[in-house]
Amino acid sequence: MCFVCGRENPCGLKLKFYEDPEDRVVRAEFIVPETYQGYPGVVHGGVVAAILDEIAGRAVMLHKDHEAFMVTLRLTVRYRKPTPVGVPLVAVGWVEQIGGAGARVAGQIRLPDGTVTAEGEALLATAPDEFQKAWEAERPYWK
């Protein structure tokens, strides 16, 4: 039911993520429908932030076990250009630093020509045990 990646969320974006172990990044190619616009023709900033948050969380899975869920402690977003609806986009995420129970990760949303519309940096931490237990039923769907 995740808003960004959940297959069963009728209002979700249903993004699919692909690992690129050679480049050490995670990618998602997608088109945001106009349903998620803020200003006419522009993806709402909150949706942009949600996509960056998700791509960052997925990137850490390249370095940690897919079973090791992490949560966002802080997300900083820089909106460089309006992100258009109805246009093919790619989100790319990578790890900048990882250690112990935390990670610093980053991501971008890009237009087809490579222009960056938004970028984010997130600080992640291992999810507390009570959350890990609650997510047990979701684990098979994260790979």
The Cα 75–Cα 105 span in angstroms is: 10
pLDDT band at 70; cut points 50, 70, 90: confident
The Cα 47–Cα 126 span in angstroms is: 24
Average pLDDT, the chain: 91
- Phi then psi dihedrals of residue 63, to 5 deg: -105, -20
The Cα 86–Cα 117 span in angstroms is: 14
> Which helix (H) or strand (E) covers residue 56, if one does?
helix 45-59
The Cα 6–Cα 15 span in angstroms is: 8
pTM: 0.92
How many beta carbons lie within 10 A of that of residue 14, not counting itself? 15
Sheet holding 102-110, edge to edge: 18-20, 25-31, 88-99, 102-110, 116-126, 70-79
> What's the chain's Rg over C-alpha atoms?
15
- CATH code for the domain defined by 18-137: 3.10.129.10
Q: What percent of the chain has pLDDT over 70?
A: 94
Give the model confidence (pLDDT) of 84-142 as tens digits.
999 999 999 999 999 888 999 999 999 999 999 999 999 999 888 887 777 777 767 66
